[in-house]
Amino acid sequence: MDLKISDILAPASVCLDLEVADKTDLLTRLVDVVSATGKVKDRDTLLKVILDREKLMSTGIGYGVALPHGKSSVVESSAAAVATLREPIDFDALDDKPVNIVLLLVGTEDNVGAHLRLLSRISRMVGTEQFRSDLLAARTVEEVLDLFASYEEERA
């Protein structure tokens, strides 16, 4: 069975209309919400993995979207967090545009295939204007979770 984003996105990991100071503040907040799910054994190590990955190359993929991600042995199973930002922030994105949708994906060291499939699925979703506008229009956690579930259902 292929892992779905809707399977690994906990309601507590959905942050709507988030206010952040900058990229590091944002990544720290998202690592914190994923860590709060209990799937992360060491929050500080995971934050370092995510920040180090970001230093290699920005995960700002364009269209106002960033997909920070990383794999670590401190993660028990794949987990995700999503945030829509009150004010777009500079993320060194590929298209030099500020970011207002961020999806953090963390995975285990030993399941690279699943991690890459999830990243690919997220990329396809946020690559469509309809998905991005629906996500930005979502006002409740349930709307966000339903959006991911229905999008994955349609394309299963």
Structure tokens at 15: 């942050």
Q: Which of 29, 69, 121, 132 is catalytic?
A: 69
What integer is the mean pLDDT of 61-72? 94
pLDDT in tens, 120-144: 889 999 999 999 999 999 999 999 9
First-to-final CA distance of the chain: 11
The CATH superfamily holding the domain 5-154 is Mannitol-specific EII; Chain A (3.40.930.10)
Q: Which of the four pLDDT bands, split at 50, 70 and 90, describes residue 2?
A: confident
Q: Check residue 34 and give its pLDDT.
A: 96
What pLDDT was estimated at residue 155?
A: 67
Name the percent of the chain lying above pLDDT 70. 98
Q: How far is CA 52 from the centre of its chain?
A: 16
Verify whether residue 115 is a known catalytic residue.
no
Report CA torsion sign: 31, 9, 72, 98.
negative
pLDDT tens digits along 76-123:
999 999 999 999 999 999 999 999 999 999 999 888 888 888 888 899
Of the candidates 34, 15, 9, the residue with the CA atom closest to the CA atom of residue 101: 15
